[in-house]
Amino acid sequence: MRFRNDLLLVNPMNRFFRHLLLQAAALFALSVPAWANVNIQHWVAANGARVYFVESHVLPIIDLQVDFDAGAARDPAGRSGLAGMTQGMLDAAAGGLDEDALAEKFSDLGARLSGVADNDRAGLSLRTLSSARERDGALALLRTVLTRPEFPAAVLEREKARAIASLREADTKPDQIGSKAFARALYGDHPYGRSATVESVAAITRDDLLAHYRRHYVASRAVVSIVGDVTRQQAEAIALQLTGDLPAGEPLAPIPAVTMPKAVTERIAHPANQSHIFVGEPVTRRGDPDFFPLQVGNYILGGGGFVSRLTKEVREKRGYAYSVYSYFNPQREPGPFQIGLQTQRAQAADALKVVDETLAKFIADGPTDDELKAAKRNLVDGYSLRLDSNRKLLESLAVIGFYGLPLDWLSKFPERVEAVTAAQVKDAFRRRLSADHMVRVIVAGD
Amino acid sequence: MELRRFSRGFALCSALAALLAPISPARANPYETRLDNGLHVIVKEDHRAPVAMHMVWYRVGAIDEHDGTTGIAHLLEHMMFKGTKTLKPGEFNEIVARAGGNDNAFTSHDYTAYFQRVPAAALPKMIELEADRMRNLVISDDEFARELKVVMEERRLRTDDQPQSQLHEQLMATAFIAHPYRRPVIGWMNDLENMRPDDARDWYRRWYAPNNAYVVVVGDVDHKKVFEQVKKAYGHMKPVQLPVRKMTAEPVQTGERRITVKAPAELPQLAMTWKVPKLVDVSNDREPYALEVLAGILDGHAASRLPKALVRGSQVAVEVGAYYDATARGETTFMLGGTPAKGHSVAELEAALRAEVKRIADEGVSEAELERIKTLTVAAQVYKLDSTYVQAMEIGRMEASGYRWQDADLMLEKLKSVTAAEVQAVARKYFGSDTLTVAVLDPQPLDPNAKPRAKPAGLRH
């Protein structure tokens, strides 16, 4: 529970950071840094786990993450929420230790365990001190929760009740109502369009968890990302230690292809003071050849915080919104391009008109030369900011590893951004964003 | 902000102290100087990456506001991006972005701060920009009117459509009847509706001066060069006579206060707050450190007592929390709260939370729990070094809140020395009913077709 809400940011950068930096531009980030010998090492362990490693001994810290192809896209029909529940229950009991014992042991080592769960991925990440006692203790615990979870029935019932309470609460909140409706409108019955519901969570059984875990938490699809104070030799041993007890696993069918939606405007009544507006369509996969023109263009359109066109038109010129943004969120199958804003409900139609015009003009005309130059300076000159901590490096490594992106992708970042032309941005936006597929969701509009 | 803040943490335990040795450069780091006009400059060299975190902190926040113009500290913060005698509105952001950086600013009850995260080579330009807007801001009526609308949208987003924020806002407004923490940082909507450009100009003129500011730099810099750059940019400025800070002390609370907030929601929520002491004398106070440890034992890590007992154990709650921050310019409280699980009432949750405090008052805490808090805090001190932002925040917060950045180390030592008996003593002393304020969110069914509740007609002035 959070009590304090008294630290106010002038710009809602948390949202910007989450979407641009942590998701889309996790890839944006890495390159051959001028500042250090960041060298990404990659190998496949004997059991098939893919390992990505950056050795750095400056701080006595190890950050690591183990991901699997076990995200929400793998939820069976009628069981939405299973992937998240399975991931969340890994540390509910494991290797004969109950949840309290596990929590105490992690805490007594000063280690932090956290979960990773999105449409494509699910797994765990760990931050620990690199001193032998703490490191060895924390890794042994992580191995236990990854390879010997017990999924106790009583804890499952409790966690289902908590999840259902949280879902009912979410169903009263305009932003969350809108997010779910937007996903549904974009993807229909595709797994990316489904959200957990009270019914789907209520239907989840312990056998479902065991089946999901056994099928998806397997060595051949494990991606181990490690950053920090260990040697290559140690990293090799750690990767095997963490995943060595997992079964190899059977091949998985690919997740279904996305069917492009028809353009639609969905209005959802709600008594909020502000309308929550979502505009977008499915666009990009990881590894998309248009990645750089789209990302550079999006920086100009709505990703560049204070200096984007959307912020200038909607916020600076008209005072319509505190937060307005756009982003591409590439996933295994085409992830969304999304524009979002919140505005006093009486002016929702006016604000949406400004958004539509801004987007249409950008698609029609592309960026100006000066905008493109400014974007390049920010993205190229500022790329070291996105690599300046072990934590940020780990996030990037994990994306590269999971999606199997080529390693030189990183070293080529600056030259690829520099090579983007205004014509390429215009061309990519025109080809990839179509009015025929543009979905709008408005919650609490007048 | 994070619910638990142990960022200042404890001193390093012996076993872990060695870990830090190789990365703690000379004891002189951070480096500090003060210009003749009163400007404090603190530079922490961190050469891991060619980046610099540049922050300018002002010791002025919502605590310094008056009724009728609540929210002006935050609104002025927004106006600081709207141009100076030599920069057009928005040009500040353009320059930062073209330098490869990003920037933002924040306002709390206690302080207002501005920061840029940039490639280290761009730092001198950032110093010039901040110095420029410390003295040369231009607040046009037109820009003011538009930015005011943005801030009103911000209030709708953060507070008016967020039941939990309303609960917090009204809890504070009830717990404090005289002390300025009763006012929300973003301001009451009616005050925003009546705000005038001159309110912002007055605020700027009174508080934005070198003798009320702290420049904090963490990153790949040479502190001597930074000192020179700061001196060049700010050295010509004259100090101003700062207004007398008349902070109304809260009268002693002599009885329990209870309020209900109704808002569209599914689940009820409970928030309780007790008046407790803050840290005044870093060397000789004891109770604030004991309260910090108490908060850490109750909440803030996976094995802490409240989630273990009430979420996982009795399952009275789906969510619980505790919050205490010893450092503040104003008066402090200790908060407990949560959301009851289905089939349990707010009253049951309140009783259960109070029983957990009483259990500590009666039985004390274990050495293992004390040790765990210290271990986690030592680890947090190491993890902090992975982020220039966190390091700069710690320095700036200490200074702008009325402490010194050097106090952080002393506070670590003091926290480390807290005993089980001291934790038990504060649990006994401060959690009676007479200094307690309770706020309950009473969830209302959502009528999708209802319009927002009418606000009272604004009184223009």
Is residue B161 pLDDT above 90, yes or no? yes
Confidence of residue B455 (pLDDT cuts 50, 70, 90): low
Residue % of chain A over a pLDDT of 90: 86
Closest CA of chain B from A36, distance in Å: 7
Unique residue bearing structure tokens 């289902």: A160
Of A1, A6, A155, the CB nearest to B338: A1
Are residues B150 and A381, on separate chains, in Cβ contact within 8 Å?
no
How many percent of chain B have pLDDT more than 90?
A: 88
pLDDT in tens, B221-258: 999 999 999 999 999 999 999 999 989 999 999 999 99
Q: Do B302 and A107 touch (CB under 8 A)?
A: yes
As a whole number, mean pLDDT of residues B172-199 equals: 98
Residue of B nearest to A378 (CA): B100
- Copy the structure tokens of residue B224: 């001597």
**Interchain CB distance below 8 Å, A385 and B337:** no
Q: Which domains are seen in chain A, by residue range?
A: 7-21+28-243 (3.30.830.10), 264-443 (3.30.830.10)
Contact partners, residue B362, CB within 8 Å, separation at least 6: none
CB contact under 8 A, A307 and B48: no
* Average pLDDT rounded to a whole number, residues A205-212: 98
pLDDT band at A32 (very low <50, low <70, confident <90, very high): very low
Is the predicted pLDDT of residue B25 greater than 50, yes or no? no
Categorize the per-residue pLDDT at A27 as very low, low, confident or very high, splitting at 50, 70 and 90: very low
A248 has a pLDDT exceeding 90: yes
Q: A11 to chain B: which residues are within 8 Å by CB?
A: 104-105
ipTM over 0.90: yes
* Minimal CA separation from A372 to chain B, in Å: 11
Looking at residue B13, its pLDDT comes to 33
Mean pLDDT of B154-183: 97
pLDDT of A67 reads 98
pLDDT per residue as tens digits for the range A275-298: 999 999 999 999 999 999 999 999
In order of start, what are the domains of chain B with their CATH numbers? 15-234 (3.30.830.10), 257-444 (3.30.830.10)
Distance from CA of A138 to the nearest CA of B (A): 13
**Chain A with chain B: Cβ pairs closer than 8 A:** 278
Q: Which chain B residue is nearest to residue A304, measuring alpha carbons?
A: B97
Interchain pair A161, B342: CB under 8 A? yes
Residue B24 confidence class, pLDDT cut points 50, 70, 90: very low
- Quote the minimal CA–CA distance from B36 to chain A in Å: 31
Residue A8 to residue A10: CA distance in whole angstroms: 6
Q: What is the pLDDT of residue B28?
A: 75
C-alpha neighbours within 13 Å on the C-beta side of residue A34: 13
Contact A390 B267 (CB under 8 A): no
Q: How far apart are CA B46 and CA B43, in angstroms?
A: 9
Break chain A down into helix, strand, coil percent, rounded to 5. Answer: 50, 20, 30
What pLDDT, on a 0 to 100 scale, did the predictor assign at position A5?
Answer: 40
A384 with B50: Cβ contact below 8 A: yes
Which parts of B27-121 fold into alpha helices (H)? 72-79, 91-98
Measured between CB atoms, which of B49, B106, B378 is closest to A7?
A: B106
The token duo for B67 is 């009724």
Which of B111, B157, B166 is the mutation pick for testing A, counting most A CBs within 10 A?
B157
Nearest C-alpha in B relative to A114: B302
Min Cα distance A150 → chain B (Å) is 16
User: Which residue is closest to B158 within chain A, CA to CA?
Assistant: A5
Chain B residue closest to A375 (CA)?
Answer: B98
Tell me whether residue B77 is one of the annotated catalytic residues. Answer: yes
Give the count of alpha carbons within 13 A of B406, CB side only: 6
Q: Which of B2, B32, B65, B77 is catalytic?
A: B77
Cβ(B446)–Cβ(A270) under 8 Å? yes
Q: B39 to chain A nearest CA, in Å?
A: 24
Q: Do B303 and A323 touch (CB under 8 A)?
A: no
- C-alpha A225: how far from chain center: 16
Q: What is the value of pTM for the model shown?
A: 0.92
Which candidate from A35, A127, A321 shows the least CB-CB separation from B49?
Answer: A35
Q: What pLDDT score does A12 carry?
A: 52
pLDDT computed for residue A11 by the predictor? 59
Q: Which residues pair with B321 in a beta bridge?
A: B337
Within A45-172, residue ranges assigned H as helices are 82-88, 99-108, 132-147, 153-170
> What type of residue is B391?
Q
Of A58, A110, A345, the CB nearest to B48: A58
Residue-wise DSSP of B376-435: HHHHHHHHGGG-HHHHHHHHHHHHHTTS-TTHHHHHHHHHHT--HHHHHHHHHHS-SSTT
Query: What pLDDT sits at residue B418?
Result: 96
* CB contact (8 A) between residue A107 and residue B220: no
Summarize the confidence of residues A295-321 as an average pLDDT.
Answer: 95
Asked if residue B18 has pLDDT above 50, the reply is: no
Q: What is the mean pLDDT of chain B?
A: 92
pLDDT band at A410 (very low <50, low <70, confident <90, very high): confident
Are B16 and A111 a contacting pair at CB < 8 A? no
